[in-house]
Amino acid sequence: MLRSAITRRMLRRVGLPLLMLALLLGTQAPRGFAEEDEGKQREKAAEAAGVSKADVGKAIDQGAAFLLKKYESGFDSTAWNSTLELVMLTLTHSGITEENAVYKKGLKALETCKLEYTYRVAALAMALARIDRWKYRARIAHCAQWLVDTQLQEGEWGYPRTLKTPMEIPKPVTVTPPIEGSTEVIKPGDRYGAPMVKIKKKRSKHISIKCVGDISNTQFAILGLKACLDARIEIPRKTWKAALRYIRSYQNKDGGWGYAFGGQRDNASYASMTCAGVCSVAICRYGTGAPKPENHAAIKKGVKWLTKHFKVDENYNITNSHVADPTRWRYYYLYSIERVGLTIGIDKLGDKAWYPLGARYLLDNQKADGSWWTGVPGEQWRQAGDIHTADTCFAILFLTRSTPKLRAPVVTGGHKEKK
């Protein structure tokens, strides 16, 4: 069952990439000749790099099987660094459904877990939007409310209320769900004609927006808000604009981005954070209704930096940054490259086709048990959680080309932005 489901999905994904992207967005657009030609071109490029549809499908199959076996006894949905949402997002993209007992347990956990931490809330919105954005629209709206309410004063996200240094353990923060749309049921025929659920920022005494945030939490919050917007949940323009200002303010002169925490910037640009900057600028512009969100000077500079330094097996320059345990994040870097490619719609960085090169690398480095892991234990930031699981998820999310492209803007109103 697992094998056949994933094989069928991979045949469609690799052979008909644009159709599958449409399915990711919840549409059923017919495939035209142009899309079919592009699909053949991509398939040829992959095969030229020694990557076949069957090989990719098998790798995803084995990776999903590893995750299912690891979590067959259930998920821990209480820890701040739980991988529940990331694993469920990954399994959903791998073609696993409620017919699987482990997946069913995970789905129940998604439906009942508390919304308390930025990374998890953002990933929850992404997972539910992928599973069924209409069935879970009310819960996704709760994610949107949480993310809007916990945005900090500079436009960033972090761990509101408690965290003063990146080494502290964050404490949970709760937000009440929005009243509007909390019990709304969307009928299949009304999905894209349904009114937007409008989120309004609320103040809470137990949320301190004066706490310091960081650029990593911020990029995931933006990904989560994009998933909310795709479920026709309208995010305040002030939220998007503040996030955009924050992200742009930390772009380095060389066009790349480095880590930033509490207003302290890392002048060493590195690849995965530059990917985060590029995607975040594009998504924030998309959220404000920019007609061509990917067409911006900051994005062009970031892509130029990535093109110059792209290496499939190296998160370039991260070892010169102040990031904890810098050599741990290689598979996360590849997922970051995938997000850039799909978000702004590019198949190559310069003359290098990022997907076939990345897929070849992942196929060559998959472990015998189906997982991926750099083998580097966390020493400087042990509370980051289960990196073995995370690395496996990042690899699969890359292989499945999981990131939805930007659709036509759904936010009305004029767009004015200082270039």
Residue 178 lies in a domain: yes
Which helix (H) or strand (E) covers residue 180, if one does?
none
Looking at residue 325, its pLDDT comes to: 72
Would you say 213 and 162 are in contact if contact means Cβ atoms under 8 Å apart?
no
pTM for this model (two decimals): 0.84
Torsion sign over Cα 373, 69, 402, 144: negative
Looking at residue 328, its pLDDT comes to: 80
- The CA angle 13-220-215, to the nearest 5 degrees, is 135
- In tens, the pLDDT along 46-64 reads 666 678 889 999 999 999 9
Beta-carbon count within 10 A of 72 CB:
11
Residue 145 lies in a domain: yes
Percent residues over pLDDT 70 in the chain: 76
Q: What is the DSSP letter of 155?
A: S
Looking at residue 354, its pLDDT comes to: 97
The yes-or-no verdict on residue 40 having pLDDT over 70 is: no
Spatial distance between the Cα atoms of 217 and 214, rounded to a whole number of angstroms: 6
Partners of 408 in beta bridges: none
Q: How confident is the model at residue 385 (pLDDT cuts 50, 70, 90)?
A: low
* Mean pLDDT for the stretch of residues 179-198: 62
Q: How many domains does the chain have?
A: 1
The mean of the pLDDT values for the chain is 83
Would you say 328 and 376 are in contact if contact means Cβ atoms under 8 Å apart?
yes
Q: What residues have CB less than 8 Å from 4, skipping those under 6 apart? A: none
Partners of 260 in beta bridges: 265
Residue 140 lies in a domain: yes
* Mean pLDDT for the stretch of residues 274-285: 98
Spatial distance between the Cα atoms of 354 and 349, rounded to a whole number of angstroms: 7
Question: Could you tell me the two tokens for 45?
Answer: 């490029």
Residue 201 lies in a domain: yes
* Between residues 185 and 296, the one the model is more confident about: 296
- In tens, the pLDDT along 335-355 reads 999 999 999 999 999 999 999
Percent residues over pLDDT 90 in the chain: 62
Q: Looking at this protein, which amino acid is placed at residue 250?
A: Y
Residue 130 lies in a domain: yes
* Mean pLDDT for the stretch of residues 395-419: 70
Residue 234 lies in a domain: yes
Spatial distance between the Cα atoms of 340 and 337, rounded to a whole number of angstroms: 5
Residue range(s) defining the domain that contains residue 122: 115-239
Q: What is the DSSP letter of 283?
A: H
Residue 404 lies in a domain: no
- In tens, the pLDDT along 157-186 reads 987 655 555 566 677 788 888 865 555 555
The yes-or-no verdict on residue 415 having pLDDT over 60 is: no
Q: What residues have CB less than 8 Å from 32, skipping those under 6 apart? A: none
Residue 74 lies in a domain: no
